[in-house]
Structure 1
Amino acid sequence: MRRGTFKDETVDYAAVGASQAPDLMQYPPERSIPAQESWRIGSGEARFRTASDSLLSWGAQRGAGLTLSDVRPASGPMYAGVSFDAEGNAIAPSRTDADQRFDQDGTPYVAGGTTIKVDGRVRGQRADAELRVIFTIEEPRRVGFALGTVGGSVVSGEESFTVDWYDNDEVWFTVRAFDAPAALLYRLLPALVRRRRRELFTGYLRAISPLYATPA
């Protein structure tokens, strides 16, 4: 198991990988507000492949109205991260040393250890941040990744995105997150954290499944 040389920045929260914890909604990291939504976005392999490709080319972030800049892949071998089973036990990484891929604009695809800057607003609320890809998952029926805050955000925490193609042929898109207020206004008004998160979730869903206007 090899990791990239993540020397430039470190994330600004302690519970790295906690967005995959089975009990996230019941026991979120200290001072964090958890959130989770899942949506059925279609069925079949074609739908899974399309959604997966959109997800790994930053489609969810762009669809939420965010602008990506300064995309910096890890300087060493890419590490896909550790996945967890339903009981929360770590399992082997799904991918290591993947070939670098690029979208039509030349932006590198999601890869473990990549650092990015995003800029934008969601319904008037700041969504600027520097983020680190904590882990990636690329399996025959499951694709996803998690982003953790490095700095520059009004909140501190992590969000994970997964697309699953289940044995019943249904394809589901799931986003899980935990946010700890960082900016003073958000510490004073935690409701702003929840509203910001709802708006981001809606944007992510619209991007990965344009047939949906709002979360179910």
Structure 2
Amino acid sequence: MKLSDLAALPLTYPEVGATAGPMPAGYHHMRESAVIGTGRARFEQAAAEVMRWGMLRGAGVRVRATTEVAEVGSEVIVGLGPVRAPCRVVYVVDEPDRRGFAYGTLPGHAETGEELFAVRYDPATDRVYAEVAAFSRHGTWWSRLAGPVTSVLQRVVTRRYLRAL
């Protein structure tokens, strides 16, 4: 699987952008967050890391992307062990107190759905939060067969994402 081949592929789900609000029925939903520090400087540093695939890399996931910084349309192949998962960035969050991106699955990914990686600054408490949200369902026969294992793996990797920053 080559990065250059991904541009021609369609996303594997119709609910593009749904991690930004109410997530669609028919999928497993996940929303997690963790405090990763305090202060505006910590937020800016964490936001820069997130946009450079830092939550993924910090969690031990291999990343090959068409851009150094996540932007709408960036294609990425993430790898964990022998698994290769092609995705495309479908939206970017660029607000004063929240930054991040979401990517969606492309053909060849074991799952179907979308995942959001973001950081948020709460001026009222001065706290900085890492956030991950996702909706997904099995996209292949082998991911359905390995369902209990993939569910545990998703929880473990999500915790790693939150600690990565």
The answer as to 2:135 corresponding to 1:135 is no
Structure 1 stretches (4+) deviating beyond 3 angstroms?
Answer: none
Conserved? CA contact 1:181–1:193, under 8 Å: no
Q: How far apart are residue 64 of structure 1 and its match? A: 1.9
Equivalent residue, structure 1, for 2:80: 120
1:105-143 Cα distance to aligned partner (Å, 9 max, x none) = xxx21111111112223xxxx542111001001122110
Alignment of 1:60-71 (within 5 A): 60-69=55-64, 71=65
**Structure 2: gaps spanning 5 or more residues:** 1-5
Alignment of 1:3-22 (within 5 A): 8-22=8-22
Give the direction of change, closer, same or farther, for the CA distance of 1:193–1:21 in structure 2 (3 Å limit). Answer: farther
Q: How far apart are residue 183 of structure 1 and its match? A: 2.4
Equivalent pairs: percent with the same residue? 33
Residues paired across the two proteins, number: 159
Equivalent residue, structure 1, for 2:25: 29
Q: Normalized per residue, which structure has more strand?
A: 2
Equivalent residue, structure 1, for 2:3: none
Per the normalisation by structure 1, the TM-score is: 0.68
Supply the distance in 1 between the matched residues of 2:7 and 2:142 (Cα, whole angstroms). 31
| AA partner of residue 61 (structure 2) | L
Alignment of 1:1-216 (within 5 A): 8-22=8-22, 24=23, 28-30=24-26, 32-69=27-64, 71-73=65-67, 108-121=68-81, 127-168=83-124, 169-208=126-165
Q: Normalized per residue, which structure has more helix?
A: 2
Supply the distance in 2 between the matched residues of 1:183 and 1:57 (Cα, whole angstroms). 29
Structure of greater Rg? 1
Per the normalisation by structure 2, the TM-score is: 0.87
Equivalent residue, structure 2, for 1:84: none
1:131-182 Cα distance to aligned partner (Å, 9 max, x none) = 1001001122110110101122221111001211112111111100011112
